[in-house]
Structure 1
Amino acid sequence: MRRAGLGEGGPHGNYVASGYSVHEEENENLQEALRAKVNALKHMTIEIGTEVKYQNKMLEDMDSDFDSTGGLLGATISRVKQLSRGSQTKLLCYMLLFALFVFLVLYWYIKLR
């Protein structure tokens, strides 16, 4: 027993079968497009993960550099404090010698130009 309207027999059967195959083909095309988009998203997330790992490594390196710089700066500040605890005459003498040195270097540089 054949049923009309299920793709077999009758004038409407061929129309239903061809409509079904059109929808099936459209679904397959949409599946392929979705599959391509999912693959693109997968590759993008992998690239993002790689970039995040690289950025985290850079941040860790910067953190260690800042720690070492902070230690160096702390040592320098303690030396400046120790220098300021000494007599003001020594400090003034050091500043005067440094200024004289800078002026001599600048004079020499301008003269050779």
Structure 2
Amino acid sequence: MRRAQNANAGPYTYNSYGGNNESQRLSEENEEMTSQLKHKVKALKSLTIDIGNEVKNQNSMLNDMDDDFHKSGNFLERSMKRLVIMGKGSHNYHLIFLFCFCFVVFLLLWVALKFR
């Protein structure tokens, strides 16, 4: 008896024009969901394009940094070679001058403090 009462209110009820109310509602929902999906796809596409551009910019900056580090590394390498060449030299008079300078400075400080 219940089935007889609900038979016309089921998912396949037809309107007076012979169309299916449920199928029209589903069709409208599908269209709405399709338009929402299109908007989301457009947003994702623009986001991925922006990410790609940012990655390209970051890669170019990293390449520039790599070049700068390579240049500074070469500069330090040349400086170290010059220091090694200076250290291997047979003229070690700079140590004698340094020792004499320190001796004179300490002597002057001692005299200044002693006769104050």
Count of residue pairs the alignment pairs up? 88
Q: TM-score if structure 1 supplies the norm length?
A: 0.66
* Unpaired segments ≥5 residues, structure 2: 1-12, 103-116
Runs of 4+ in 1 over 6 A off after TM superposition: none
* Unpaired segments ≥5 residues, structure 1: 1-11, 101-113
Higher helix share: 1
Alpha-carbon separation, structure 1, partners of 2:25 and 2:35: 15
Matched, 1:26 2:29: yes
Matched, 1:52 2:55: yes
Q: How does 1:69-80 map to 2 (within 5 A)?
A: 69-80=72-83
Alpha-carbon separation, structure 1, partners of 2:49 and 2:67: 27
1:83 to partner: Cα distance: 1.2
Partner of 2:107: none
Alpha-carbon separation, structure 2, partners of 1:58 and 1:93: 50
What's the RMSD between the two structures over aligned residues? 2.8
1:34 to partner: Cα distance: 0.5
Partner of 1:92: 95
Alpha-carbon separation, structure 2, partners of 1:71 and 1:82: 17
Q: TM-score if structure 2 supplies the norm length?
A: 0.65
